[in-house]
Amino acid sequence: MAEFKIHSIETSPEGSKEILSGAKKSLGFIPNLFGIMAEAPVALKAYTGLSDAFDNSSLNPTEKQIVLLAASYVNGCNYCMAVHTTVAQMHKVPQDLIDSLRNNKPIADAKLEALRKYALAVTEKRGWLSEDEVNEFLKAGYTKAQALEVVVGIAQKTLSNYINHVVKTPLDDAFAPNKWDKK
């Protein structure tokens, strides 16, 4: 199998240098996924563009992590499950909620469970939801705009999940305590 290089700022193509510099400045390091995506500046720009858009959605930090973890669970992405477990912990998402997402178990909070189920269904069914599935999400208190925002988060995660599968991204030390393997 072809090995993909994990780029540094210095070794990356010109179109990736600014994004890698920004990641290093904000995170203190360049995640392996970014270093690998840097090989194709269009991939890195697409991912960070979707990430920025989803960050600006109306969902709160806990809800965003539910979407990202649910999509990563369905797609079986070991890398993203570890990363977003860490990010969820940084956002003070309760550990029992994180554990539910990592194990594909229901969430006690009915509204958040509706979000989890909707994100799982959108990912599993590639958007081909029944009217009932969409209505259940809306009845839980979410808006039509949020139904679309969830799709943006799933697009972001699907992009990174698939890249991780193709290149077999090694887990960064920063995320190793939350290593995950789909059972």
The percent of residues above 90 in pLDDT, for the chain, comes to 98
The pLDDT tens digits for 31-81 are 999 999 999 999 999 999 999 999 999 999 999 999 999 999 999 999 999
pLDDT range class, residue 183, cuts 50, 70, 90: confident
Residue 155, pLDDT above cutoff 90? yes
Q: Is 90 exposed, middle or buried (0-12, 13-18, 19+ CB in 10 A)?
A: exposed
Report DSSP letters for 47-91, one per residue.
HHHHHHHHHTSSS-HHHHHHHHHHHHHHTT-HHHHHHHHHHHHHT
The pLDDT of residue 42: 98
The pLDDT tens digits for 80-133 are 999 999 999 999 999 999 999 999 999 999 999 999 999 999 999 999 999 999
Closest CA to 123 of 164, 82, 74: 74
